Amino acid sequence: MTAHDRAPALLTVDLDAVVANWRAITARAPGAEAAAVVKADAYGLGAGPVARALEAAGCRTFFVATIDEGIDLREDLPDSRILVLGGPLPGTAADMAAHGLIPVLNSLEQVGQWVGLARASEQELEAALHLDTGMSRLGLDQAAVADLADNPAMLGGIRTTLVMSHMACADEPEHPKNREQLELFTHATRRLGVAARLSLAASSTVFLGPDYHFDLVRPGAALYGLNPVPGQPNPLTGVVRLEARILQVRDVDSPQTVGYGATHRFTGKTKVAVVAAGYADGLFRSLGNRGFGMIGGVRVPVVGRISMDLTTFDVSAVAPELARPGALIELIGDCHPADELAAEAGTIGYEVLTALGRRYHRTYLGDDA
């Protein structure tokens, strides 16, 4: 048997769909370059395969979160631009430069590290500046921006090629903070006066309109099929299919219960399918008695708690020839997207994708798979 045939659960990633989403975002922001955020192993889907497919399609700028993510990605993308959103941790600037990584500088301390390395190496080093326009997380605050604007020599030795910020409420188009951050970003970049490209838009911000696009947009979740406009039809293509095999089908009846804690008690004759995936595979415990799967086009509910390796479904409404050991229940797919599973779990699609476990047999579809 092949590894696919032996696998208790299957994760399929459609690289052509990832590329199609990148192209759709490129068309949505025609005056800007569309980069790709592939941090957290491309949101759990595999940074190497995803980035290679996007590079083959024409993407030339990639964002990761940490230096080690950048070092790993450099092996797959020897020529593309790779920016590290977290910037250099103390003592890591030289390693970052040695691998051709571009830091996103978030504080005056990081600016000082990068300037110090540039001067010590007697070479101009490329960098991006991250401005905090209201997230109060990473980024140069208004006082730091004022220091840099008043003392341009603080950036001596740095070639600033990008100035960026990040939106807090872009998935709520009417939120007043969107316009507030746009105005703060515009004011701050003018005050800095550096000759650099500007970037404000990640996935949802792209859909706020051209005022937010500037020179470069940075889609992440949208590339992987998550809906960037919650409450509206998803304008992008689904990327992920997750299926788990049925290990056993059993007939139960009242007053039997199922799973840890006996949280579900049967009220009549029920057919239960036990599948080989659980919270160790990224199916959150909060899906117990709340989540759903699909089999044969029929929606089947989770009954009982999610355990580490197993989940139980009520398959009473499914034809017996479909609900049998070895058959597959779809956990994520076109009929049950990651955003829907996330809503059932009380979380967001980002967490669903990044929590996908390592035990799934992974298959990549597409020309560059």
Question: In order of start, what are the domains of the chain with their CATH numbers?
Answer: 15-224 (3.20.20.10), 240-336 (2.40.37.10)
How do strand 270-275 and strand 240-252 relate by DSSP bridges? antiparallel
User: Would you say the C-alpha torsion 103, 106, 110, 114 has a positive or negative sign?
Assistant: positive
Contact criterion met (CB below 8 Å) for 288 and 263: yes
Active-site residue, selected from the candidate residues 39, 43, 212, 360: 39
The torsion angles phi and psi of 332, rounded to 5 degrees, stand at -135, 135
- Residue that the structure tokens 């160790």 belong to: 280
| Structure-token pair, residue 220 | 């992440």
Contact criterion met (CB below 8 Å) for 200 and 182: yes
- What pLDDT does 5 receive? 84
- What pLDDT does 230 receive? 94
| Structure-token pair, residue 180 | 């507030």
How do strand 9-14 and strand 361-365 relate by DSSP bridges? parallel
d(Cα 246, Cα 332) in Å, to the nearest integer?
15
Alpha helices in 108-227, H assignment, sequence order: 108-121, 142-150, 176-192, 203-206
How do strand 361-365 and strand 270-275 relate by DSSP bridges? unpaired
- Residue that the structure tokens 């669903």 belong to: 352
| Structure-token pair, residue 49 | 């395969």
Active-site residue, selected from the candidate residues 43, 177, 212, 260: 260
Alpha helices in the chain, H assignment, sequence order: 3-6, 15-28, 39-44, 47-57, 67-76, 93-98, 108-121, 142-150, 176-192, 203-206, 338-345, 349-354
- What lies within 8 Å, CB to CB, of 14 at 6+ separation is 237, 238, 239, 240, 241, 365, 366
Contact criterion met (CB below 8 Å) for 228 and 221: yes
Tell whether 308 is in a known binding site: yes
Maximum CA pair distance of the chain?
A: 78
Contact criterion met (CB below 8 Å) for 222 and 171: no
Which amino acid is present at 103? P
Report the chain's terminal Cα–Cα distance, integer Å. 22
Q: Catalytic: 269?
A: no
Which amino acid is present at 77? L
Counting every residue, how long is the chain?
A: 369
| Structure-token pair, residue 213 | 């696009």
Q: Which uninterrupted H or E stretch holds 363?
A: strand 361-365
Contact criterion met (CB below 8 Å) for 87 and 158: no
| Structure-token pair, residue 226 | 């998550």
Tell whether 179 is in a known binding site: no
- pLDDT in 10s for each residue of the chain, 369 residues: 888 888 899 999 999 999 999 999 999 999 999 999 999 999 999 999 999 999 999 999 999 999 999 999 999 999 999 999 999 999 999 999 999 999 999 999 999 999 999 999 999 999 999 999 999 999 999 999 999 999 999 999 999 999 999 999 999 999 999 999 999 999 999 999 999 999 999 999 999 999 999 999 999 999 999 999 999 999 999 999 999 999 999 999 999 999 999 999 999 999 999 999 999 999 999 999 999 999 999 999 999 999 999 999 999 999 999 999 999 999 999 999 999 999 999 999 999 999 998 899 999 999 666
- What pLDDT does 368 receive? 61
Contact criterion met (CB below 8 Å) for 174 and 180: no
